[in-house]
Amino acid sequence: MTAPSQAPVREVSNAYRWYSVGMLALVYASSQVDRQIMGILLQPIKLELGASDTQMGFLVGLTFALFYAGLGMPIAMVADRSNRRNIIALSIAVWSCMTVACGYVANFTQMALARIGVAVGEAGSTPPSHSIISDLFGPHERASAMALFVVGANVGLLISYLGGGWMADNWGWRTAFIVVGLPGIAIAVLLMLTVREPARGARDSGPGEAQRVRFGEAVRFMFREPAIRNIVLGKSLGGFVSYGLVLWVPAFLVRTHDLSATRVGLTLALVLGVGGGIGTLLSGRIVDALGRRDPRWRAWAIAISKVVPIPLSIGFLLVDDFALAIGLYILPAMFGAFYLAPSAALIQELVQPRMRALAAAVAMFMTNMIGMGLGPQGVGILSDVLKPTYGDESLRYALVLFLFVNVWCAFHFVLAGRHLGRMER
């Protein structure tokens, strides 16, 4: 397959580079709205479909993750030697249509199939986006560029929580799916009209070729390098906690604090959407600045961000006063996605330009199978296991136990930092 026509780096202005990342962030926001709206709608869907917490955990976790992560790698292999922008545009159209379909399901099985369709579409977006960003920005700018891209997740959370909560109370959960699914088509068209396919490897020491990369070759390259291996493992464990919290905290607030979906949506939109977005943007700036002084801090800063907020997160889950609980949650929410942009930037820097989309997909597979697949599922199972002892409070204690996985996550980023230091010497 021949490489698509590409714009030489000298023709790309700084304004265009940041516009391109902004467009990819908008794409990411769209995917996050269609994915994360399940969190705010989980309780009414559970009640109407008559499902258990274990079943709902399967619906928002493993069902989605198997297809999202599994298909990401073959799509990324195509993206590493073909037009990445076109792949992303097609993916948007698929997940948007399937999100609309979620509003028309009649039972749990149909909902599971519709969510699989959303996962199939979203599988083709993130790895090519990472690859494009890495071809637009050099090593010392990538974490900041990735942070702008990743903040799309916070924008998506804000929209899904704020809009989803209000629509759930006023229009019903089915209409909510239809409303958030339709704008994706317009985003796909805008991407096709305004973003070009960049030259591969143009921001690195040597230009990259659109060569065929074998799956085994990329996996061996990534996992024989201790720094990459520990970054991927740390990122996966971070996702395990993050996805478990993000998708179950809305239900926790409804059950424990007896809040309406509208109030939960407004609260989490401000805390996770706005506060988390600020933290995500800062993560890129902080890690880029620290990395210029000592490369080890590019990983060690992530380790600190996973451990320091744990006591505040426990307080958020255990106190009964709602205002105090939200006050305690602000800092953990800001640090919740701190790990995403710097870890993605590190992976893109440490692999060869010709395998960037595939490397992002391999990391995404690990993160989403462990994080998205097992995180929400694990919370649901643990909540049901604890129910005979704690009753309606079982979800509260299941979430508290999950927080301690962040210590394991931080350990891998500490190891990654040590190896980064050795690579620089």
Cα(3)–Cα(185) distance, rounded to whole angstroms?
A: 26
Q: Decide: residue 94, CB within 10 A, 0-12 exposed, 13-18 middle, 19+ buried.
A: buried
Does 310 score more than 70 pLDDT? Answer: yes
The C-alpha angle 254, 256, 257, rounded to 5 degrees, equals: 70
Cα(383)–Cα(388) distance, rounded to whole angstroms?
A: 10
Q: Which helix (H) or strand (E) holds 237?
A: helix 226-257
Cα(399)–Cα(376) distance, rounded to whole angstroms?
A: 10
pLDDT tens digits, one per residue of 371-418: 877 888 888 889 989 999 988 889 999 999 999 999 999 999 999 998
At 424, the pLDDT band (50, 70, 90 cuts) reads: low
Does 298 score more than 60 pLDDT? Answer: yes
Cβ–Cβ under 8 Å, residues 82 and 90: no
Taken in order of first residue, the domains within the chain and their CATH numbers are 11-198+213-424 (1.20.1250.20)
Counting other chains too, the contacts that 177-180 makes at CB distance below 8 Å and 24 or more residues apart are 177/37, 177/41, 177/99, 177/100, 177/102, 177/103, 178/100, 178/103, 180/33, 180/34, 180/37, 180/99
Q: Which residues contact 330 (CB under 8 A, 6 or more apart)?
A: 271, 275
pLDDT tens digits, one per residue of 212-250: 667 778 888 888 888 999 999 999 999 899 888 887 888
Q: Which residues contact 370 (CB under 8 A, 6 or more apart)?
A: 236, 237, 239, 240
Cβ–Cβ under 8 Å, residues 205 and 51: no
Tokens (6 digits) for 213: 């990369």
Provide the phi-psi class of 294: left if phi over 0, else alpha when psi is between -120 and 50, else beta.
beta
pLDDT tens digits, one per residue of 76-111: 777 777 888 999 999 999 999 999 999 998 888 888
Nearest to 330 by CA among 317, 318, 312: 312
Question: What per-residue confidence (pLDDT) applies to 201?
Answer: 64
* Residues in a beta bridge with 7: 198
At 4, the pLDDT band (50, 70, 90 cuts) reads: very low
pLDDT tens digits, one per residue of 123-133: 888 888 888 88
Give Cα separations from 66 to 69, 111, 242, 246, 296 (angstroms): 6, 15, 18, 19, 33
Q: Roughly how many angstroms between the first and final C-alpha of the chain, as a whole number?
A: 39
Give Cα separations from 299 to 127, 128, 137, 165, 255 (angstroms): 21, 23, 20, 36, 37
pLDDT over 70 for what percent of the chain? 92
Looking at 198-240, which runs of residues are DSSP E strands? none
pTM for the structure as a whole = 0.70
Q: Which residues contact 172 (CB under 8 A, 6 or more apart)?
A: 44
Q: How far is CA 385 from the centre of its chain?
A: 28
Tokens (6 digits) for 2: 């021949």
Provide the phi-psi class of 308: left if phi over 0, else alpha when psi is between -120 and 50, else beta.
alpha
